[in-house]
């Protein structure tokens, strides 16, 4: 086969311009403003490589003599790259390069202007990496932000491949030590929750890759927060809390025979577990939304005066029958209520209630007891 006369017709040639190569097309997602030069240049080079036009800015494709037949073809492809550069820079920068015709010259001009001051930026990045900690970030977000700083540092200090065979081992070792330093940095400032997996990873020989280390820590994160989520769900359903006073739902930890979890709280007023006298419904009154064991209980008997302080968390620990609640509403203690029932039974059997005088126990600390005593005394008389 003979040589192609027009290389622009060869689909594999950098001189080929397809119908999708629009001069007004923005080929990179970011605009060059100046300080972001290194990220912008890396993105622009990647886009040119994908379009087979990288040779126009790295110097591998030289401008032919104007007398050569190839010059119009080169000029067309070169101007396409120039138009992409003009679209990818800010308006003020574009005004400074609009008169330049060669994409290679424009690229070098931008590099000389905006890649300066590298030492100051390198110092800033190293300081940011040194002081960066996980804090409230997830492991994935923490690793991602840390990797962004590492990648930017690599743009300033790339490890260039060497063509000398004697330097290959040295380059490999430098890359290896660099990766180890990054792993140590990543693990060292993790939160204390990951101390176990951190120790296990550092004891591995050989040390895993950076991405593998991140994966191991992420698995530990899912396990930690997964267990916490299960504990919260179980607690919200009346199950277990992982602390010193409350344990899991199961045999041996039941409250009475109900098996609703062991607790160290005992009420000195009613004798039930799970709450104290400060939040005892029998002592302070029942809330309007309280659920009684007897579903037919008339809620109108519920005490209208109810203090909300810390009572909602104790509703599940109060299980009262209708008779107990009604006795509370008219000012009787359980002992007074039982005594009154016994007095009524004796009155019915003997027909002489006035002779059945009993001593009703009283509780001076509870003002409602006085009401109960007066009521029983009047009844007896």
CB-based contacts of 245, cutoff 8 Å, min separation 6 = 262, 263, 264, 265
Sequence ranges of the domains in the chain? 7-114, 118-157+167-234, 277-329, 334-380
Per-residue pLDDT at 376: 54
Q: What's the rounded Cα separation, in Å, for the pair 79 and 69?
A: 17
Report d(CA 188, CA 226) in Å as an integer: 23
Q: Per-residue confidence of the chain (381 residues) as pLDDT tens digits?
A: 444 467 888 888 999 998 888 888 899 999 999 888 888 998 999 999 999 999 999 989 999 998 888 999 999 999 999 999 999 999 999 999 999 999 999 999 999 888 766 688 888 889 999 999 998 899 999 999 999 999 888 888 877 655 555 556 777 888 888 999 999 999 998 998 899 999 999 999 888 899 999 999 999 999 888 766 555 555 555 544 443 333 333 333 334 444 444 445 677 778 777 777 777 877 777 776 666 655 554 444 444 344 444 444 444 444 444 444 444 455 567 777 788 888 887 776 665 444 444 444 444 445 545 555 555 555 555
Burial class of residue 313 (count of CB atoms within 10 Å of its CB; 0-12, 13-18, 19+) = exposed
- Within a 13 Å sphere around the CA of 253, how many CA atoms are in the beta-carbon half? 15
Residue 259 region by backbone torsions, left for phi larger than 0, else alpha for psi between -120 and 50, else beta: left
Output the pLDDT for position 256. 40
Torsion of CA 161, 163, 164, 165, to 10 degrees: 80
Contact yes or no for 263/306 (Cβ under 8 A): no
In sequence order, the β-bridge partners of residue 273 are 266
Torsional class of 161: left (φ above 0), alpha (ψ -120 to 50), beta (otherwise): beta
| pTM for the full predicted model | 0.48
Q: Which residues contact 56 (CB under 8 A, 6 or more apart)?
A: 14, 48, 77, 78, 81, 103, 104
User: CA gyration radius for the chain?
Assistant: 41
């Amino acid at each position: 086969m003979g040589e192609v006369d027009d290389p622009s017709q060869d689909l594999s040639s950098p001189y080929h311009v397809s119908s999708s190569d629009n001069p007004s097309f923005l080929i990179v997602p970011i605009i060059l403003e100046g300080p972001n030069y290194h990220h912008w240049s890396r993105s622009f080079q990647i886009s040119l490589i994908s379009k087979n036009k990288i040779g126009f800015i790295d110097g591998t494709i030289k401008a032919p003599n104007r007398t050569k037949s190839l010059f119009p073809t080169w000029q067309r492809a070169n101007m396409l790259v120039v138009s992409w550069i003009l679209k990818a820079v800010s308006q003020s920068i574009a005004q400074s390069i609009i008169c330049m015709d060669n994409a290679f010259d424009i690229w070098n001009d931008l590099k000389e202007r905006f890649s300066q001051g590298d030492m100051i930026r390198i110092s800033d990045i190293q300081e940011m990496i040194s002081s960066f900690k996980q804090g409230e970030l997830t492991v994935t977000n923490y690793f991602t932000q840390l990797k962004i700083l590492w990648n930017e540092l690599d743009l300033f200090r790339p490890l260039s491949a060497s063509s000398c065979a004697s330097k290959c081992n040295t380059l490999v070792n430098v890359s290896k030590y660099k990766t180890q330093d990054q792993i140590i940095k990543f693990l060292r400032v993790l939160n204390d929750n990951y101390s176990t997996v951190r120790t296990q990873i550092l004891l591995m020989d050989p040390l895993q890759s950076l991405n593998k280390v991140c994966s191991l820590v992420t698995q530990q994160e899912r396990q930690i927060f997964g267990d916490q989520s299960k504990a919260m769900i179980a607690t919200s359903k009346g199950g277990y809390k992982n602390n010193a006073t409350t344990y899991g739902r199961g045999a041996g930890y039941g409250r009475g025979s109900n098996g609703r979890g062991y607790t160290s709280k005992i009420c000195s007023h009613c004798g039930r577990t799970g709450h104290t006298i400060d939040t005892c419904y029998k002592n302070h009154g029942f809330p309007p939304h309280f659920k009684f064991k007897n579903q037919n209980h008339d809620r109108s008997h519920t005490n209208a005066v109810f203090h909300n302080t810390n009572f909602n968390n104790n509703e599940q620990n109060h299980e009262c029958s209708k008779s107990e609640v009604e006795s509370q509403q008219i000012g009787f203690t359980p002992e007074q209520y039982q005594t009154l029932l016994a007095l009524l039974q004796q009155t019915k059997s003997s027909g002489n209630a006035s002779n059945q005088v009993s001593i009703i126990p009283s509780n001076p600390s509870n003002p409602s007891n006085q009401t109960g005593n007066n009521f029983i005394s009047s009844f007896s008389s």
